[in-house]
Structure 1
Amino acid sequence: MLRCLVQGHPKQWEEVLSKAEFAYNAMPNRSTGKVPFTIVYTKAPNTAVDLIVLPKCQSTAAASFTNDYSKMLSDVKQQIISANQRYKMTANTHRRKKLFEVGDLVLVRLRRERFAPGEYSKLARRKLGPVPIIAKYNDNAYRVQLPPGCNTSPTFNVSDIWPYHSTDDATISINSSESSSSEAGED
Protein backbone atom coordinates (compact mmCIF):
# COMPACT_ATOMS: atom_id res chain seq x y z
CA MET A 1 0.00 0.00 0.00
CA LEU A 2 2.83 2.38 0.85
CA ARG A 3 4.54 1.60 -2.46
CA CYS A 4 1.41 2.69 -4.31
CA LEU A 5 1.06 5.87 -2.28
CA VAL A 6 4.67 7.06 -2.51
CA GLN A 7 5.23 5.98 -6.14
CA GLY A 8 8.14 8.09 -7.40
CA HIS A 9 9.04 9.54 -3.98
CA PRO A 10 10.02 6.56 -1.77
CA LYS A 11 11.78 8.71 0.83
CA GLN A 12 8.49 10.44 1.70
CA TRP A 13 6.84 7.31 3.08
CA GLU A 14 6.47 8.83 6.55
CA GLU A 15 4.27 11.61 5.19
CA VAL A 16 1.72 9.16 3.76
CA LEU A 17 1.81 6.65 6.61
CA SER A 18 -1.17 8.16 8.45
CA LYS A 19 -3.20 8.21 5.22
CA ALA A 20 -2.37 4.57 4.60
CA GLU A 21 -3.36 3.61 8.14
CA PHE A 22 -6.67 5.46 7.83
CA ALA A 23 -7.41 3.84 4.46
CA TYR A 24 -6.58 0.38 5.83
CA ASN A 25 -8.76 0.82 8.92
CA ALA A 26 -11.65 2.26 6.88
CA MET A 27 -11.90 -0.72 4.48
CA PRO A 28 -13.82 -3.91 5.31
CA ASN A 29 -11.59 -6.76 6.47
CA ARG A 30 -11.74 -10.02 4.52
CA SER A 31 -11.93 -12.20 7.63
CA THR A 32 -14.42 -10.22 9.68
CA GLY A 33 -16.45 -8.60 6.92
CA LYS A 34 -16.42 -5.43 9.03
CA VAL A 35 -14.50 -2.18 9.02
CA PRO A 36 -11.85 -2.18 11.82
CA PHE A 37 -12.98 1.31 12.93
CA THR A 38 -16.50 -0.03 13.43
CA ILE A 39 -15.26 -2.91 15.56
CA VAL A 40 -13.04 -0.75 17.77
CA TYR A 41 -14.97 2.53 17.95
CA THR A 42 -18.55 1.22 17.31
CA LYS A 43 -19.03 3.52 14.33
CA ALA A 44 -17.56 4.20 10.93
CA PRO A 45 -14.81 6.84 10.78
CA ASN A 46 -15.65 10.41 9.89
CA THR A 47 -14.51 11.36 6.43
CA ALA A 48 -14.35 14.80 4.83
CA VAL A 49 -17.88 14.34 3.49
CA ASP A 50 -19.19 13.60 7.00
CA LEU A 51 -17.63 16.75 8.41
CA ILE A 52 -19.34 19.08 5.95
CA VAL A 53 -22.74 18.66 7.58
CA LEU A 54 -22.59 18.37 11.34
CA PRO A 55 -24.86 15.60 12.52
CA LYS A 56 -27.62 16.43 14.97
CA CYS A 57 -27.01 14.86 18.32
CA GLN A 58 -29.74 12.31 18.98
CA SER A 59 -29.50 10.07 21.98
CA THR A 60 -30.52 6.41 21.71
CA ALA A 61 -31.28 4.09 24.57
CA ALA A 62 -28.22 2.55 26.16
CA ALA A 63 -29.81 -0.88 26.01
CA SER A 64 -30.31 -0.80 22.24
CA PHE A 65 -26.74 0.41 21.78
CA THR A 66 -25.42 -2.42 23.94
CA ASN A 67 -27.52 -5.01 22.13
CA ASP A 68 -26.51 -3.75 18.70
CA TYR A 69 -22.84 -3.66 19.67
CA SER A 70 -22.85 -7.15 21.22
CA LYS A 71 -24.67 -8.52 18.14
CA MET A 72 -22.06 -6.92 15.90
CA LEU A 73 -19.25 -8.46 17.99
CA SER A 74 -20.83 -11.92 17.82
CA ASP A 75 -21.23 -11.52 14.03
CA VAL A 76 -17.55 -10.58 13.79
CA LYS A 77 -16.61 -13.61 15.89
CA GLN A 78 -18.60 -15.93 13.61
CA GLN A 79 -17.02 -14.34 10.52
CA ILE A 80 -13.54 -14.92 11.96
CA ILE A 81 -14.37 -18.55 12.80
CA SER A 82 -15.68 -19.24 9.31
CA ALA A 83 -12.70 -17.46 7.72
CA ASN A 84 -10.29 -19.54 9.83
CA GLN A 85 -12.10 -22.71 8.75
CA ARG A 86 -11.71 -21.69 5.09
CA TYR A 87 -8.01 -20.97 5.65
CA LYS A 88 -7.57 -24.33 7.40
CA MET A 89 -9.27 -26.22 4.57
CA THR A 90 -7.05 -24.48 2.02
CA ALA A 91 -3.88 -25.18 4.00
CA ASN A 92 -4.82 -28.83 4.64
CA THR A 93 -5.34 -29.64 0.96
CA HIS A 94 -1.57 -30.17 0.54
CA ARG A 95 -0.90 -31.84 3.89
CA ARG A 96 -0.61 -35.55 4.25
CA LYS A 97 -1.32 -37.44 7.44
CA LYS A 98 1.72 -39.46 8.49
CA LEU A 99 1.81 -41.60 11.60
CA PHE A 100 4.76 -43.75 12.60
CA GLU A 101 5.37 -46.24 15.37
CA VAL A 102 8.47 -46.91 17.44
CA GLY A 103 10.68 -49.32 15.48
CA ASP A 104 9.54 -48.21 12.00
CA LEU A 105 12.34 -47.60 9.51
CA VAL A 106 12.23 -44.13 8.01
CA LEU A 107 14.18 -41.67 5.94
CA VAL A 108 14.83 -38.25 7.51
CA ARG A 109 15.46 -35.00 5.67
CA LEU A 110 18.47 -33.04 6.87
CA ARG A 111 17.81 -29.35 6.41
CA ARG A 112 20.52 -26.72 6.39
CA GLU A 113 19.14 -25.15 9.59
CA ARG A 114 19.95 -28.31 11.58
CA PHE A 115 23.69 -27.87 11.19
CA ALA A 116 26.17 -25.41 12.65
CA PRO A 117 27.59 -22.86 10.21
CA GLY A 118 30.25 -24.47 8.03
CA GLU A 119 29.15 -28.08 8.66
CA TYR A 120 26.47 -28.28 5.97
CA SER A 121 27.54 -29.27 2.48
CA LYS A 122 25.43 -28.60 -0.58
CA LEU A 123 26.66 -31.87 -2.05
CA ALA A 124 25.76 -34.01 0.97
CA ARG A 125 22.80 -36.37 0.93
CA ARG A 126 19.48 -34.66 1.56
CA LYS A 127 17.87 -37.69 3.19
CA LEU A 128 19.43 -40.04 5.67
CA GLY A 129 18.29 -43.54 6.30
CA PRO A 130 16.93 -45.98 6.84
CA VAL A 131 16.98 -45.15 10.52
CA PRO A 132 14.66 -46.56 13.19
CA ILE A 133 12.27 -44.45 15.21
CA ILE A 134 13.20 -44.84 18.88
CA ALA A 135 10.61 -42.54 20.48
CA LYS A 136 7.32 -40.90 19.62
CA TYR A 137 6.64 -37.62 21.44
CA ASN A 138 3.34 -36.94 19.67
CA ASP A 139 1.94 -37.25 16.13
CA ASN A 140 4.24 -34.43 14.95
CA ALA A 141 7.57 -35.18 16.66
CA TYR A 142 9.68 -38.32 16.58
CA ARG A 143 13.16 -39.22 17.82
CA VAL A 144 15.27 -41.36 15.49
CA GLN A 145 18.53 -43.21 15.96
CA LEU A 146 21.02 -41.28 13.87
CA PRO A 147 24.30 -42.87 12.83
CA PRO A 148 27.41 -42.03 14.84
CA GLY A 149 29.10 -38.82 13.78
CA CYS A 150 25.87 -37.09 12.76
CA ASN A 151 26.10 -33.85 14.71
CA THR A 152 22.45 -32.83 14.74
CA SER A 153 19.47 -33.31 16.99
CA PRO A 154 17.78 -36.70 16.62
CA THR A 155 14.29 -35.20 17.04
CA PHE A 156 12.45 -34.56 13.77
CA ASN A 157 9.15 -33.04 12.77
CA VAL A 158 6.83 -35.35 10.84
CA SER A 159 7.22 -33.13 7.76
CA ASP A 160 10.89 -34.22 7.58
CA ILE A 161 10.18 -37.96 7.88
CA TRP A 162 9.28 -40.42 5.11
CA PRO A 163 8.51 -44.12 5.44
CA TYR A 164 11.31 -46.33 4.17
CA HIS A 165 10.39 -48.82 1.44
CA SER A 166 13.07 -51.37 0.63
CA THR A 167 13.88 -51.89 -3.05
CA ASP A 168 14.00 -55.65 -2.54
CA ASP A 169 12.22 -58.13 -0.30
CA ALA A 170 15.10 -58.42 2.17
CA THR A 171 14.40 -57.76 5.82
CA ILE A 172 16.37 -54.90 7.32
CA SER A 173 17.08 -54.81 11.02
CA ILE A 174 19.25 -52.29 12.78
CA ASN A 175 20.39 -53.02 16.32
CA SER A 176 21.92 -50.46 18.60
CA SER A 177 24.48 -53.10 19.64
CA GLU A 178 25.73 -53.36 16.05
CA SER A 179 26.34 -49.63 15.79
CA SER A 180 28.02 -49.47 19.21
CA SER A 181 30.26 -52.48 18.46
CA SER A 182 31.50 -50.87 15.25
CA GLU A 183 32.30 -47.71 17.18
CA ALA A 184 34.30 -49.71 19.71
CA GLY A 185 36.31 -51.42 16.95
CA GLU A 186 37.43 -48.10 15.52
CA ASP A 187 39.28 -47.09 18.70
Structure 2
Amino acid sequence: MLRCLVQDHPKQWEEVLGKAEFAFNAMPNRSTGKAPFTIVYTKAPNLAVDIIVLLNCKSGSAATFKDNYSKLLSDVRQQIIRSNQWYKAAVDIHRRPCSFQVGDLVMVHLRRERFLPGAYSKLAKRKIGPVPIIAKFNDNAYSVELPPGCNTSSTFNVTDIWPYNSTDDAPITLSSSESSSSEAGED
Protein backbone atom coordinates (compact mmCIF):
# COMPACT_ATOMS: atom_id res chain seq x y z
CA MET A 1 0.00 0.00 0.00
CA LEU A 2 2.83 2.38 0.86
CA ARG A 3 4.53 1.64 -2.47
CA CYS A 4 1.38 2.71 -4.31
CA LEU A 5 1.08 5.91 -2.28
CA VAL A 6 4.70 7.07 -2.49
CA GLN A 7 5.20 6.05 -6.15
CA ASP A 8 8.25 8.03 -7.38
CA HIS A 9 9.18 9.41 -3.93
CA PRO A 10 10.02 6.36 -1.75
CA LYS A 11 11.86 8.40 0.86
CA GLN A 12 8.67 10.29 1.73
CA TRP A 13 6.90 7.20 3.09
CA GLU A 14 6.54 8.73 6.56
CA GLU A 15 4.36 11.51 5.15
CA VAL A 16 1.79 9.07 3.73
CA LEU A 17 1.85 6.57 6.60
CA GLY A 18 -1.14 8.20 8.32
CA LYS A 19 -3.19 8.10 5.10
CA ALA A 20 -2.28 4.46 4.57
CA GLU A 21 -3.28 3.54 8.12
CA PHE A 22 -6.58 5.40 7.81
CA ALA A 23 -7.34 3.72 4.47
CA PHE A 24 -6.51 0.27 5.88
CA ASN A 25 -8.69 0.76 8.97
CA ALA A 26 -11.59 2.12 6.88
CA MET A 27 -11.66 -0.87 4.46
CA PRO A 28 -13.76 -3.96 5.28
CA ASN A 29 -11.75 -6.99 6.34
CA ARG A 30 -12.26 -10.29 4.50
CA SER A 31 -12.56 -12.34 7.71
CA THR A 32 -14.92 -10.08 9.64
CA GLY A 33 -16.77 -8.42 6.78
CA LYS A 34 -16.46 -5.11 8.64
CA ALA A 35 -13.93 -2.31 8.73
CA PRO A 36 -11.71 -2.19 11.86
CA PHE A 37 -13.02 1.33 12.55
CA THR A 38 -16.59 0.02 12.52
CA ILE A 39 -15.74 -2.78 14.95
CA VAL A 40 -13.79 -0.64 17.40
CA TYR A 41 -15.78 2.60 17.25
CA THR A 42 -19.19 1.15 16.24
CA LYS A 43 -19.47 3.40 13.19
CA ALA A 44 -17.67 4.34 10.03
CA PRO A 45 -14.78 6.79 10.46
CA ASN A 46 -15.56 10.48 10.43
CA LEU A 47 -14.41 12.40 7.43
CA ALA A 48 -13.48 16.11 7.57
CA VAL A 49 -17.10 17.09 6.82
CA ASP A 50 -18.59 14.72 9.43
CA ILE A 51 -16.46 15.94 12.34
CA ILE A 52 -18.61 19.03 12.89
CA VAL A 53 -21.74 16.89 13.36
CA LEU A 54 -22.04 16.04 17.05
CA LEU A 55 -24.01 13.09 18.31
CA ASN A 56 -26.73 13.95 20.82
CA CYS A 57 -26.84 11.43 23.64
CA LYS A 58 -30.25 10.59 25.09
CA SER A 59 -31.34 7.56 27.04
CA GLY A 60 -33.41 6.29 24.10
CA SER A 61 -30.52 6.59 21.72
CA ALA A 62 -28.20 5.03 24.31
CA ALA A 63 -30.42 1.95 24.34
CA THR A 64 -30.50 1.92 20.55
CA PHE A 65 -26.75 2.31 20.48
CA LYS A 66 -26.31 -0.62 22.86
CA ASP A 67 -28.61 -2.80 20.75
CA ASN A 68 -26.90 -1.82 17.50
CA TYR A 69 -23.47 -2.42 18.98
CA SER A 70 -24.48 -5.81 20.37
CA LYS A 71 -25.88 -6.78 16.97
CA LEU A 72 -22.68 -5.57 15.27
CA LEU A 73 -20.50 -7.69 17.57
CA SER A 74 -22.75 -10.69 17.00
CA ASP A 75 -22.53 -10.22 13.22
CA VAL A 76 -18.74 -9.91 13.39
CA ARG A 77 -18.52 -13.05 15.54
CA GLN A 78 -20.67 -15.01 13.05
CA GLN A 79 -18.62 -13.74 10.10
CA ILE A 80 -15.38 -14.83 11.81
CA ILE A 81 -16.86 -18.28 12.47
CA ARG A 82 -17.91 -18.60 8.81
CA SER A 83 -14.45 -17.48 7.65
CA ASN A 84 -12.72 -19.94 9.97
CA GLN A 85 -14.94 -22.77 8.72
CA TRP A 86 -14.10 -21.85 5.13
CA TYR A 87 -10.35 -21.76 5.89
CA LYS A 88 -10.58 -25.09 7.74
CA ALA A 89 -12.40 -26.73 4.82
CA ALA A 90 -9.75 -25.44 2.40
CA VAL A 91 -6.91 -26.83 4.54
CA ASP A 92 -8.63 -30.15 5.30
CA ILE A 93 -8.63 -31.00 1.60
CA HIS A 94 -4.84 -31.48 1.80
CA ARG A 95 -4.76 -33.09 5.26
CA ARG A 96 -4.27 -36.83 5.58
CA PRO A 97 -5.94 -38.40 8.63
CA CYS A 98 -3.63 -40.86 10.39
CA SER A 99 -4.00 -42.67 13.65
CA PHE A 100 -1.49 -45.17 15.00
CA GLN A 101 -1.41 -47.49 17.98
CA VAL A 102 1.47 -48.42 20.27
CA GLY A 103 3.44 -51.19 18.60
CA ASP A 104 2.59 -50.23 15.00
CA LEU A 105 5.52 -50.15 12.60
CA VAL A 106 6.03 -46.82 10.88
CA MET A 107 8.45 -44.93 8.68
CA VAL A 108 9.69 -41.62 10.13
CA HIS A 109 10.72 -38.54 8.14
CA LEU A 110 13.78 -36.78 9.55
CA ARG A 111 13.76 -33.04 8.89
CA ARG A 112 16.91 -30.95 8.92
CA GLU A 113 15.43 -28.66 11.60
CA ARG A 114 15.50 -31.50 14.16
CA PHE A 115 19.31 -31.62 14.22
CA LEU A 116 22.00 -29.25 15.49
CA PRO A 117 23.66 -27.08 12.82
CA GLY A 118 26.27 -29.12 11.00
CA ALA A 119 24.99 -32.45 12.34
CA TYR A 120 22.68 -33.17 9.41
CA SER A 121 24.03 -34.24 6.06
CA LYS A 122 21.98 -33.46 2.99
CA LEU A 123 22.97 -36.89 1.68
CA ALA A 124 21.63 -38.71 4.74
CA LYS A 125 18.52 -40.86 4.61
CA ARG A 126 15.32 -38.82 4.73
CA LYS A 127 13.17 -41.64 6.12
CA ILE A 128 14.12 -44.28 8.61
CA GLY A 129 12.23 -47.38 9.53
CA PRO A 130 10.45 -49.48 10.12
CA VAL A 131 10.44 -48.38 13.74
CA PRO A 132 7.81 -49.23 16.35
CA ILE A 133 5.67 -46.64 18.08
CA ILE A 134 6.36 -46.79 21.81
CA ALA A 135 3.99 -44.08 23.07
CA LYS A 136 0.97 -42.15 21.88
CA PHE A 137 0.56 -38.71 23.47
CA ASN A 138 -2.46 -37.71 21.38
CA ASP A 139 -3.64 -38.11 17.78
CA ASN A 140 -1.00 -35.59 16.72
CA ALA A 141 2.15 -36.68 18.61
CA TYR A 142 3.83 -40.07 18.88
CA SER A 143 7.08 -41.35 20.32
CA VAL A 144 9.02 -43.96 18.31
CA GLU A 145 12.01 -46.17 19.08
CA LEU A 146 14.79 -44.61 17.03
CA PRO A 147 18.00 -46.42 16.09
CA PRO A 148 20.97 -45.62 18.35
CA GLY A 149 22.71 -43.44 15.72
CA CYS A 150 19.92 -40.83 15.63
CA ASN A 151 20.75 -37.87 17.86
CA THR A 152 17.31 -36.32 17.86
CA SER A 153 14.13 -36.43 19.91
CA SER A 154 12.03 -39.55 19.53
CA THR A 155 8.75 -37.60 19.56
CA PHE A 156 7.28 -36.86 16.14
CA ASN A 157 4.30 -35.04 14.72
CA VAL A 158 1.86 -37.19 12.76
CA THR A 159 2.82 -35.33 9.56
CA ASP A 160 6.29 -36.91 9.77
CA ILE A 161 5.03 -40.47 10.28
CA TRP A 162 3.83 -42.92 7.60
CA PRO A 163 2.51 -46.43 8.10
CA TYR A 164 5.03 -49.10 7.13
CA ASN A 165 3.84 -51.39 4.34
CA SER A 166 6.05 -54.42 3.79
CA THR A 167 6.71 -55.44 0.18
CA ASP A 168 6.54 -59.14 1.05
CA ASP A 169 4.57 -61.28 3.48
CA ALA A 170 7.55 -62.28 5.61
CA PRO A 171 7.25 -61.49 9.32
CA ILE A 172 9.23 -58.48 10.47
CA THR A 173 11.44 -58.88 13.50
CA LEU A 174 13.14 -55.93 15.08
CA SER A 175 16.23 -56.58 17.13
CA SER A 176 17.78 -54.26 19.62
CA SER A 177 21.17 -52.72 18.89
CA GLU A 178 22.82 -54.79 21.65
CA SER A 179 21.77 -58.13 20.21
CA SER A 180 22.75 -57.16 16.67
CA SER A 181 26.20 -56.00 17.80
CA SER A 182 26.79 -59.17 19.82
CA GLU A 183 25.72 -61.31 16.87
CA ALA A 184 28.17 -59.46 14.65
CA GLY A 185 30.96 -60.16 17.16
CA GLU A 186 30.28 -63.92 17.15
CA ASP A 187 31.03 -64.33 13.43
Q: Name the TM-score, length of structure 1 as normaliser.
A: 0.89
Alpha-carbon deviations, 1:127-180, whole Å to 9, x = none?
1111111110100000000001210101000000001111111111214xx323
1:12 is displaced (CA, Å) by: 2.9
How many Å separate the matches in 1 of 2:36 and 2:133? 49
- Name 1:174's counterpart in structure 2: 174
1:135 aligns with 2:131: no
> What residue number does 1:145 align with?
145
Amino acid at match of 1:55: V
1:45 maps to a residue whose letter is P
Post-superposition offset of 1:58 = 4.0
Amino acid paired to 1:20: A
Cα distance in 1, alignment partners of residues 128 and 13 from structure 2? 49
Residue in 1 that maps onto 2:19: 19
Partner of 1:35: 35
Secondary structure in 2 matching 1:129: strand
Aligned 1:37-52 pairs, distance under 5 A: 37-50=37-50
Percent of aligned pairs with the same amino acid: 70
Q: Encode CA deviations 1:67-100: one digit per residue, 9 max, x unaligned.
A: 1111111111111111111111111110010000
Corresponding residue number in structure 2 for 1:124: 124
In 2, Cα distance between the equivalents of 1:132 and 1:103?
5
Q: What residue in structure 1 maps to residue 155 of structure 2?
A: 155
Pair 1:39–1:128, CA change in 2 (3 A): same
Q: Secondary structure at the match of 2:128?
A: strand
Runs of 5+ unmatched residues, structure 2 = none
**1:107-145: CA deviations, max 9, x gaps?**
100000001010111111111111111110100000000
Deviation, 1:183, is 4.8
Could you tell me which residue of structure 1 aligns to residue 10 of structure 2?
10
- C-alpha separation in 1, matches of 2:178 and 2:136: 22
Specify the SS of the correspondent of 2:118: coil
CA distance in 1, matches of 2:122, 2:9: 42
SS at match of 2:30: coil
The alignment status of 1:109 with 2:116, answered yes or no, reads no
| Letter paired with 1:102 | V
Equivalent residue number for residue 55 of structure 1: 53
Distance 1:138 1:115, change over 3 A: same
What is the one-letter code of the residue matched to 2:2? L
More displaced 10-residue stretch of structure 1: 59-68 or 108-117: 59-68
**CA–CA distance in structure 2, aligned partners of residues 142 and 10 of structure 1:** 51
1:74 alignment partner, SS class: helix
Q: Write the letter of the residue equivalent to 1:77.
A: R
Q: TM (normalized to structure 2)? A: 0.89
Cα separation, 2, equivalents of 1:182 and 1:57: 84
Residues 79-88 or 39-48, more deviating: 39-48
